[in-house]
Amino acid sequence: MPTIKSVVISCAGIGSRLGLGLTKALVKINGRSLISLQLELFKDVEDVRIVVGFQANEIIEEVLKYRKDVTFIFNHRYFETKTGASFYLGARHAHEYVLEWDGDLLVHPDDAKMILNTEGEFICYSEKSSDDSVYVKVNEAGDVLEFSRECGDYEWTGPACFHKSHLQYSSMNVFNMLEPYLPMKGLKIRAYDIDTYNDYQRVSEIMKSWEHES
């Protein structure tokens, strides 16, 4: 039986680069909100925590359509902090191992199952795909050695699994929180990060292709 994990979904951001006037969790992909697609992946996870900020009431209302037992955490400083702050706030009272999941992330359902069943700490990455990327450099074993804004072998999309002993507050990004603990086990996954409108336009076709595979 895998170690019990908490899942923290960070949905506090404004999503300004997307340009749709919505926080990314509420964006519709093929008729469904992104947060509803994520919740479906975690239907068997007991402890799901969602960090909200911008459009918090709308996100809470959408989540409660699908699940009533989610814990909501507020990042009141969402305008001036990044995903690291939201993850910290969401993870403080979680289980020993905490799975970080960005609110703008789509992951292939089969790979989401693999992530939930993988023990210990790890960092996920995917083939390069989105417009505004952070990259990872990996060794032959697939372990993550370094993050970079300039170049790398793959794209850092998240998710990442942390032991709570490594949890420290950061107003920056989650990958900045991970850097002191590198190298770390890596998992290559099929994932898509929605940062810009171009990403958003591409993602509906990707979702359709995943559905055809199943």
Q: What is the pLDDT of residue 202?
A: 82
| Domain count for the chain | 1
Which parts of the chain are beta strand (E)?
5-11, 28-29, 32-33, 47-52, 71-74, 97-102, 105-107, 122-126, 134-138, 144-148, 154-163, 186-188, 191-193
Q: What is the pLDDT of residues 176-187, one digit of tens each?
A: 999 999 999 999
Per-residue tokens: 106: 């789509």
Q: Which of the four pLDDT bands, split at 50, 70 and 90, describes residue 99?
A: very high
- The pLDDT tens digits for 32-81 are 999 999 999 999 999 999 999 999 999 999 999 999 999 999 999 998 99
Domain, as residue range, for 104: 5-213
Longest dimension (CA), the chain: 45
pLDDT digits (tens, 9 = 90+) for 122-159: 999 999 876 668 999 999 999 999 999 888 999 998 89
Task: Look at residue 19 and tell me whether its pLDDT is greater than 80.
Answer: no
Please, which residues have CB within 8 angstroms of residue 140's CB and are 6 or more apart in sequence?
none
| pTM score, whole prediction | 0.92
Looking up residue 195, the CATH number of its domain turns out to be 3.90.550.10
Dump pLDDT digits (tens) for 165-213. Answer: 999 999 899 999 999 999 999 999 999 888 777 777 788 888 888 877 7
Mapped to the 3 state alphabet, what secondary structure does 72-134 carry? EEECCCCCCCCHHHHHHHHHCCCCCEEEEEECCEEECHHHHHHHHHCCCCEEEEECCCCCCCE
Tell me how far apart the alpha carbons of residues 20 and 15 are, in angstroms, rounded to a whole number: 8
At 130 the pLDDT is 66
Q: Give the three-state DSSP class for 57.
A: helix
Residue type, 127: E
